[in-house]
Amino acid sequence: MGRTDFTQMRCPVARAMAVLGERWAMLVLRECFYGTSRFDEFERNLGIAPNILSARLRDLAMHGLIEKLPAPGARHDYRLTEKGRDAFPVFLALKGWADRWMTGPEGPPVVLEERGTGAPVRSPPALSSTGAPLQPEDIRVLAGPGASEALRARFGALVDG
C-alpha cells in the first residue's frame, strides 16, 4: 500500500505536515531562524548531504516558506518569506517541548534570548480569552466554515460570534 498524500487532504494540519513533517524541514527552518542563509552554511550546520539539502531547500521554496535570491558570485541566499516567518511560533513550541523532554541532565544545547533584554525566549503558551493557560480538556472542537459533512456530523456546527 502506498503512502497517503497529505498534500491532497482537506485538513490544513495534514497539509502542513506534508511540508513541515519531513524530517529535515524543521531543521532547515531552524537554521533560517538562526540566521543561516547560504547553502554551505546549511550543509555544515546540519551535517546533511548536499543532494538532500538541495531537495529540502527546493521543497521549502516551492511551498513558499523560503525564497532563493541571487547573491554575489555564483551563489544564492535562502531567506524566509512571510509564510516561513509565520512558522516561528511552531518552531518555538517544538523547541520548548524538546528542551523539556528530549534533553539530557545538562540541559538544552541551544538557548534563545531576546536580543534587546537578554530575557529567555519561551514557547508561546495556549491562552484563554482571560489570559489563563489552556489545556486540551479546556477546549471545544467545532466544525469550521470549510468542514465536510463528516466533520459537521462529528463536531457539530460552528458557532458564530
Within 8 A by CB and 6+ apart from 91, the residues are 26, 29, 30, 33
How far is residue 93's CA from residue 41's CA, in Å, rounded to a whole number?
25
Q: Write the pLDDT tens digit of every residue in 138-150.
A: 999 988 888 889 8
- The answer to whether residue 65 sits within a structural domain is yes
Give the model's pLDDT for residue 132: 93
Q: Which of 86, 110, 137 is the last residue of a domain?
A: 86
Number of domains composing the chain: 2
Please say whether the dihedral angle defined by the alpha carbons of residues 67, 53, 48 and 77, taken in this order, is positive or negative: negative
Q: Is residue 107 part of a domain?
A: no
Answer whether residue 47 shows pLDDT above 60: yes
Helix (H) or strand (E) holding 83: helix 82-85
Tell me the pLDDT tens digit for each residue of 16-29.
999 999 999 999 99
Boundary residue ending a domain (36, 56, 86): 86
* Residue-range definition of the domain harbouring residue 133: 125-161
Q: 161 pLDDT band (50/70/90 cuts)?
A: very low
The predicted model scores a pTM of 0.88
